[in-house]
Structure 1
Amino acid sequence: MTAPLTTPLTTPLSPTDRTTVRRGRIRAVEERRALFDLLGEALVCHLGVVVGEGAEAHPVVLPTVCAADAEGPDEGGTLYLHGSVAARSLVAAPDRTICVTVTLLDGIVAARSAFHHSMNYRSAVVIGRPRVVTDEAERARALDLIVDQVVPGRAATLRPHTRKELAATVVLALPLLEASVKIRAGGPGDDAADIEAGTWGGHIPLRLVADAAVPAPECGDGPVPDDIRTLVDRLDGPD
């Protein structure tokens, strides 16, 4: 692994034409820290890549799990993705530019006109050419980060990966240099005439919650481990 080429949290967002926000620029966020905050909270991202060749080439957008490392070896930090070695999207990705998007939905905006209805959200777009992670230490760290992205602290409680599991898994590293972030918050931006008409307007906050953890039958009446209980508590689930 090599040292990062830049200081990730101080590198400006949207350094290229491909990731410069144009539509709704008032919602663009320039602080790179906002990108890592958003990625750190995301449970699902979408990977977009063109698969196939010639007339058979077509875009595919698939949901997956990702994990960001601000101190990763790529310029701007590193976004790790993983999946089966048989997945066409992951096999094709290192040979071309890909796009990864993340959206966190924070609310529904109910305006006084259909035109101004909207959503409150935090979203990120990352564009670049990934590399296949072959360094064993980086690969192990990436897989631990991906596990902990879903259940923080879980990786340390699990057995090591087997050779068969590692052989069946591909890990990609995408530089976080080319990225953009947009955030919308608050109520509707209604026209004055619509406000004066007296129709109700506002927004409905949304959040992710968890129910109580359900143990596998083999666990019997054993206690729920700390990492699972902490996650449920953080998502305001019941004890």
Structure 2
Amino acid sequence: MLRVITVLFCLVLASAAAAKEALPQKFSLQGGTLVYDTETEVEGKPAEITDDDVLELRDILTKNPEISELQLNSIGGSVYAGEEIAGLVLEHGLDTLVDGTCISACVDVFLAGSRRRMTIGSSIGFHQRNWPADAVHKYYRSERKKRRWATPYDLGSWIYEDTQREVYDHLSYMVARGVDPGFAIETLRTDPDGEWYPSRLRLIAAGVLREVRQGQTR
């Protein structure tokens, strides 16, 4: 009987180890906390938030309903992937924790957390969004026929309108997540090639950090 129990115990351990090994390289599971670290070198993949991460995170959360917190370390990446991941955090009611750094698109993910914390020595950074010229050129070439853009000036006009909508949506999201409106506006002051790192006290006062889960009181 003891032999059977030992064999079963070994099988359980092997199964748990296999489940951990099956996680994509940017993710690791520590109890109820899922670590999402885009700064670790992953062969063949960009060290940033990508569309692939959205699909992988959705699969992980579906298979591991015990996950209650997403731990972040990322300098950002795709704005749209960040928004999709933030949606998954909201959908699953997860808390968020920064352990390392969280900048740009990562902040959108962080703000989706019900409880939002940051370890000592970690940082949260803000800057304006940008769209590199080569990416704009590629988008123009791929979309000009469908959108009936006769010249790049038509694209420029569209970008002007779309940018205003995007800024409005982003500020609205921050305010909806409990961030002070004045602070949200201030996050736009830093150029895309720089970062603004507010102090922990400033982040608490602005509602970026929140030790109590939404809907709870102290």
| TM-score normalised by structure 1 residue count | 0.24
Higher strand share: 1
The higher-RCO structure (CA 8 Å, 6+ apart) is 1
| TM-score normalised by structure 2 residue count | 0.26
